[in-house]
Chains A and B, each alone.
Chain A
Amino acid sequence: MKNNGNGKKVLNFLGNNSVPILFILICIVCIPVSGFSPSYLINEIVTRMGRNIFLILCLLIPIMAGMGLNFGMTLGAMAAELALILVSDWQIWGIPGVVLAMILSIPFSILLGALCGKILNMAKGREMITSYIISFFMNGVYQLIVLYMMGPIIPIKHTTVKLPRGYGIRNSVDLFHMRQCLDNLMAVRIGGVKVPVLTFLLIGLLCLFIIWFRKTKLGQDMRAVGQDMDVARDAGINVERTRIISIVMSTVLAGFGMVIYLQNMGNIATYSSHSQIGMFCIAALLVGGASVDKASIGNVFLGVILFHTMFIVAPKAGAIITGDSMIGEYFRVFVSYAVITIALIMYETKKRKARSRAGQQLQLAQQEEEAAANE
């Protein structure tokens, strides 16, 4: 009996963590095949952790408020890019440039986040598809600003930033003088692995903030709103406002995260940097074992490590196995989308299961009673 219980527990554990386990298996298979040296791998993963974790952490807050995966985090990324373009045009480099870009991104993020939150309040119950479409819509507006308004309306001076035609921003804005300035400050080398201590400190700070935030009144309200909007409203919580705040916070943090991300990359792909970022962050979070309605800081760290290990080794492993280097590239894209698809399906089926389980329990109780009555 006890054994059986344990067996069930193991099965449950496997079932609940199927996605991370699957990824561990993929990594176990692909790492030796790819033939990368451990020090190279660790170096890459540490770099990518520094680059991505801050961005992914910003997804936790809307999940707490029951608004699902915030596909609208792209808005924060756009805000950060706008800020960085301006900062690099003003030729403010190094740490001051990074700090200024972060500060400058805040008003943009608040504006975009509040707008996004307002729209999502009008589309309750289908937040995810709506935030997804908002990110597309805003991408159009972003292009309008960057491609046409920067130059004639918003003054841009430097030719390294501006397109030769006289207005609009180049496809790629070089952040050479800002490149990895956060990462290099206080960086430590441990056995050939460069650890960007300052970046990790910032990430640690954000983690502490999130843990602390859960214990605040606002955090408590968000959790309440996330679980049952009607009950929260009956208790006097301003549901709409709380939801907007959660999106604004997420957007602002995404803006900071994007500045960290771009200073590590060393250049802005003006028209594409933000477009995939939401998808990759969400995929990484889900790989770490998070679901649409539940995610923890642990999920973020595990997700980044697993997802990016796969990302690094898949092309090489794919090339060695199939002889075609593109296969691995496509494979990792496919995996990212498939993970999100599976997570969404599991979330929806779980919702339905919860409903039907209530019915089954009732039925069972009746049958028992009936049996008792018949005896």
Chain B
Amino acid sequence: MSNENAPLLEMRNIKKDFFGNVVLSDINLTLQKGEVLGLCGENGAGKSTLMKILFGMDVIRETGGYEGDILINGEKVSFETPFDALKAGIGMVHQEFSLIPGFTATENILLNREPKKKNVISEIFGERLDTLDYNEMTGRAEAAIEKMGFSIDKDMVISNMPVGHKQFTEIARELSKEQLKLLILDEPTAVLTEREAEALLESIRSMSAKGIAVIFITHRLHEILSVCDKVVVMRDGFVVSDVPAAKTTVSEISKWMVGRSVSSGTSRDIRDMSDGRTAMSIRKLWVDMPGETVRNVDLDVKEGEILGIGGLAGQGKLGIPNGIMGLYEAGGTVEFEGKNIPLNSPRKCLDASIAFVSEDRRGVGLLLDESLEWNVAFPAMQVQNKYLKKYLGGLISWRDEKAIREVTEKYIDELAIKCTGSKQKAKELSGGNQQKVCLAKAFALEPKFLFVSEPTRGIDVGAKALVLEALKRFNRESGVTVVMISSELEELRQICDRIAIVSGGKIAGILPADRPSEDFGMLMVSMVK
């Protein structure tokens, strides 16, 4: 049946929405045997969703499936599980390692596909009691490593391996599958040293020469240009360009990645505050936040401004507020209004009137099992002794339920939080309304300085506008300095005065918000690690 002339992979008119929120529209892609395709785009552009569809991940089916067709060798396929995709010859190396730490490279390469030998007992009790054929295992692992073209110690236990070798072990595992025709590599070089990354590119070339097609997702654009046959750039769920790698440049790709076809309204009232007082000055900050490591950051925030911090995911922009607020281990110096703020102590920051709205709403931002009243009033109660009644000369401080209800209702009105009342549990609210509760919590502290991390992540368009509006109003009316961290550049450009771009854990540059988006795009990929 299979058509010899048909491309190895063809994706036609792929569409996908998560409960009405469209994340992919009309994606068309073709890939020939042995071809290397570089896929790039900002986070949230739809790359990972597209790969999840191709790989038949459960999450796609659970959220209502997708529209459009996937064809392999001209035949329409529909993968129910990743195992179906594996059978069809698609392999994927995920960003997170999927390795058993106490097993050797060989055992991991052949995990659950070990060659077996029959024995007397297994004849009776079934094939799970077959013994493993260690010689055969060694042989196959060696063959896979050979195919990869980068040598790793097949007998080394994973937990003793340098991180790069773990990545190669994963690749070798995919290569050990004989039916492999297409390999998806999701940011494989992120954890590699320069030399290892070079070796990986070399092994991609050799795979391609052996007829294996590769989809290579990375933020390091020069790697794409050096190894790929063609480049596909995605943005906002669309494929914005699909060109041969030879005919494009790094700057062109980064422009495609961030550029908007419709120039949406940037902030109309950008203020230049470079002469103003410095509210916070950050020196040599490092933060150990897994996946968002910050290295040696110097940054000055002016009083009364809205500073945006942008950058690609994993580059460290989230680490900055989380480190300063003491949620992850950090070092360096932070001065606020001339006074040194000790790091690694959330209480000290709160005492200095700095508040933080975390990007991790459910994990850090909310008491999901408690009422809105508790959520809004709790930090202010604990830090500033608000909403308390004192008895016995201050010896006993009791919750003032009335004051708590009043302040909660005030913010429910002000931020238009949709709920059944101030006693409703936080977990019963929608994402957007939960986000507003998080803001209310920070507003109730009446801070002088506010960090807001990813305030619009996972909420719908209407709620987005409301949240941004509320932040801007809070800044203008109360004169609060706001630092907003977001992966959506357009959003930052809407309300910020200046935008700092973080790349490779460092500040790559700070520009006024009205500069063209290509400038920001160049900064984003400038120091990518």
Contacts and interface: CB of A to CB of B under 8 A. Distances in A.
| A–B direct contact (CB < 8 Å) | yes
Contact of A227 (B101, B116, B331): B101
A327 B132 CA distance: 52
A217 B103 contact: no
B69 interface: no
A218 B121 CA distance: 12
B469 interface: no
Contact of A369 (B103, B131, B295): B295
A247 interface: no
A351 interface: no
Contacts of A366: 286, 288, 293, 295
A230 B99 CA distance: 10
Interface stretch (B107-115, B353-361, B375-383, B414-422): B107-115
B284 A370 contact: yes
A228 B296 contact: no
A63 B130 CA distance: 21
From A217, A224, A236, A366, residue with most partner B Cβ within 10 Å: A217
Interface in B271-320: 284, 286, 288, 290, 293, 295-296
B284 A363 contact: no
B127 interface: yes
B102 A223 contact: yes
A51 B300 CA distance: 73
A217 B130 contact: yes
Contact of B100 (A218, A232, A367, A370): A232
A220 B107 contact: yes
A362 interface: yes
A223 B157 CA distance: 14
A235 B112 contact: yes
Contacts of A215: 131-132, 134
Interface SS of chain B: helix, strand, loop or mixed? mixed
Contacts of A373: 296
Contacts of B296: 369-370, 373
A111 interface: no
Given A236-B112, A363-B329, A227 B293 contact: no
Contacts of B114: 217, 220
A364 B180 CA distance: 40
Interface in A219-266: 220-221, 223-224, 227-228, 230-232, 234-237
Given A231-B99, A237-B112, A363-B329, A217 B293 contact: no
Contact of B127 (A217, A227, A234): A217
Size category, A interface: 20 to 34
B63 interface: no
Contacts of B122: 216
A216 B128 contact: yes
A217 B103 CA distance: 14
A215 B134 CA distance: 9
B329 A228 contact: no
Interface string B198-226: 00000000000000000000000000000
Interface SS of chain A: helix, strand, loop or mixed? helix
Interface string B318-352: 00000000000101000000000000000000000
A64 to B, nearest CB: 11
A216 B132 contact: yes
B100 A227 contact: yes
A239 to B, nearest CB: 11
Nearest to A358: B290
Nearest to A218: B128
Interface in B84-127: 98-103, 107, 111-112, 114, 116, 122, 127
Contact of A228 (B100, B134, B284, B286): B100
A13 interface: no
Contacts of A224: 100, 103, 111-112
A218 B129 contact: yes
Contacts of B295: 366, 369-370
Interface of B: 82-83, 98-103, 107, 111-112, 114, 116, 122, 127-132, 134, 284, 286, 288, 290, 293, 295-296, 329, 331
10 contacts: A217-B130, A221-B128, A223-B100, A227-B100, A231-B111, A232-B111, A234-B82, A237-B112, A363-B329, A366-B288
Given A215-B131, A236-B112, A366-B295, 8 more contacts: A217-B127, A217-B132, A220-B132, A224-B103, A227-B101, A227-B103, A234-B98, A235-B111
Which A-B residue pairs are the 10 nearest by beta carbons? A235-B112, A218-B128, A235-B111, A366-B286, A227-B100, A231-B98, A227-B102, A362-B288, A236-B112, A216-B129
